[in-house]
Chains A and B, each alone.
Chain A
């Protein structure tokens, strides 16, 4: 009944226009605190978020801390149960109930890479152990010879050579970049269709970040992986991803091809984010010192978020209607869209499953 139950599953790799993984109107609330007059308060972490990941395509999810970007990834990985919304894998709705065998089949296709390679590897186990576990759990190997062979192949694919040396090392013997490569190899061992990378380079030294990003890009092309790259660094999102989605306080405010979004930002928040990002190019204009930016302040509390568009208290263009309700999505052409009343209120709203979201 479910595509997840067919094993081994061969994805339809030839069609890059059909999304592998789709999230439709996802919402997540975390209950917090005591009951107050019978009503329990909650953190409205993610509101009505839709996105689609395509094979061989990298999508970046950009936002500050507290924007809900990690929560979205964790819902996609089914580490959190969404409060509402649907997740579709190859067009089939993924059952949202927690059943260990269904979940395991799902995770055979969706893998997550975490931010901190120092915490995501077990210090008492060797590289071999870390890579052998997914291979065995998902039945990709029958015996130890095959296992060694596959581990060596994986290490070579993440450019850890000579692989024979790395296989017996322990995490403390590896640098941060090498550990992150092990984490990537571990995700690849499962042979996923979708890789969710949650700030995969922000803990690494600046000079090796691009190395890791380039590795992910190469693997994406080789495997036709659908990649979700979560980051707070919009410049790296531009470098890395084909599409960029911008989140603010749990709401998705703008999205589209990365060149369009970073060069022609529409939503005031995207503009703020871009003007706040460090950009040495400004030196060429001859001005010294830090230039003023348009809006100030921080992400609001999500327990009692602002009504309507959550950016309105900081927005220089806020109107009355912004306080009343969240604008519908407005298509700006070329797959570029935004949720902002400055550009209309979604006259030509398209269903959430249409390509380009």
Chain B
């Protein structure tokens, strides 16, 4: 089942699906999503609310609670080689029994999961500002992680590590004794990032970590995240609805719509030549700071109700380019341009790029623009 996977791969998600069980039937929040993440890579997940980006991240981290259930798929984690590891990882890989040392996160038992989390994978939540305990000093909260996961560390060592961590995120170490209410929003966010880094994990998942912050502070936090990830070669999955911010931060960006990944590309490719009509529309929803002032329209309509996802391509009711097969056949995620392969190839789930359906050649950016203009002028009900 597992083909030769390069050692560069850190995480491989295969056909992951998540359902929320509801009285009116299952809601397919994440639908057969597959992707790989390299070591030290920053992957951005973008999409509108309800597109399944947070659910996907929580599925990877095994944080979902009923009524959400993972219905199928694998999340394979490849522990790094040659790095000093606690014995638990080697135990885990043997227990899982994969030939190439991978661990299926979805198969971990609760106690294995407890050892796996934070050692290998840590999480920064959406309301990171509220993630801190208000009655404990930030030093206690950082050292708490070390106490639990590094029992061999003595109190002095823990304190030294906590001081180092605060310095790493740019906070003076005398703040160890501060309580969360004594810190500003940006500083609290830095502390949460310090806690996420405490055990040198290979992967950090951040779910909208900067939405509650002001622009300037947001920028500082992004700078910090960007430089730390490169310095420590930590991989990052960064979830946000703000595509314009993501393009600057991430190496690769994946766009989600109605539980499916519709496009994945390097941020430069995605910005300069988006291939999915939805990605184009999403990019066109952010007014630009420089260059000519254009008339922009966003994407008419609203994201679908996941209880009744449109047939075929879920985006077809809002798509300016929709044609026959879009209504009946769901497009798979594959190379946008034939002959292009490799890890940086632009992937898209759209029939416009399938020679069987659209023999007329690949669509251009101008055609997307004209398509959106005509549906906006057409005054479709939204």
Q: Which residue numbers of A lie inside 8 Å of B, CB to CB? A: 64-65, 159, 161-162, 175, 177-178, 205-211, 214, 232-236, 238-240, 259, 262-263, 272-284, 288-293, 295-299
Contact = CB atoms under 8 A, between A and B. Distances in A.
Nearest to B297: A210
Given A205-B303, A238-B287, A281-B290, A210 B214 contact: no
Given A235-B288, A279-B248, A283-B247, A175 B297 contact: no
A239 B283 CA distance: 15
A142 B303 CA distance: 40
A162 B382 CA distance: 10
A288 B283 CA distance: 19
B217 interface: yes
A207 B282 contact: yes
Interface stretch (B106-114, B236-244, B355-363): B236-244
Contacts of A283: 247-248, 267-268, 271-272
Contacts of B65: none
Interface stretch (B11-19, B87-95, B97-105, B220-228): B220-228
Given A235-B289, A278-B242, 9 more contacts: A205-B48, A206-B48, A235-B244, A279-B290, A280-B247, A280-B271, A291-B223, A296-B220, A297-B216
Contacts of B298: 206-211, 214
B273 to A, nearest CB: 12
Contacts, number: 146
Given A64-B214, A159-B382, A272-B216, A259 B285 contact: no
Interface in B292-322: 293, 296-300, 302-303
A48 B177 CA distance: 39
Contacts of A282: 248
A207 B279 CA distance: 10
B293 A259 contact: yes
28 contacts: A159-B381, A205-B302, A206-B243, A208-B298, A210-B285, A210-B296, A214-B297, A214-B298, A232-B215, A235-B244, A235-B289, A236-B287, A239-B287, A276-B216, A277-B215, A278-B242, A278-B247, A279-B244, A280-B283, A283-B268, A289-B230, A289-B248, A290-B227, A291-B223, A293-B220, A298-B186, A298-B214, A298-B217
Interface in B304-356: none
A306 to B, nearest CB: 16
**Which of under 10, 10 to 19, 20 to 34, or 35 or more describes the interface residues of B?**
35 or more
B91 to A, nearest CB: 37
B218 interface: yes
A175 B50 CA distance: 12
A206 B248 contact: no
Interface of chain A, main secondary structure:
helix
B153 interface: no
B379 interface: yes
A208 B227 CA distance: 33
Sorted nearest first, the 8 A-B pairs with minimum C-beta distance are A239-B287, A210-B298, A278-B245, A276-B219, A207-B299, A64-B214, A280-B247, A278-B244
Contacts of B379: 159
Query: Which of A234, A279, A289 has its CB near the most chain B CB atoms (within 10 A)?
Result: A289
B249 interface: yes
Contact of A289 (B49, B217, B227): B227
B281 interface: yes
B254 to A, nearest CB: 16
A209 B186 CA distance: 26
B223 A292 contact: yes
Contact of B281 (A64, A178, A207, A259): A207
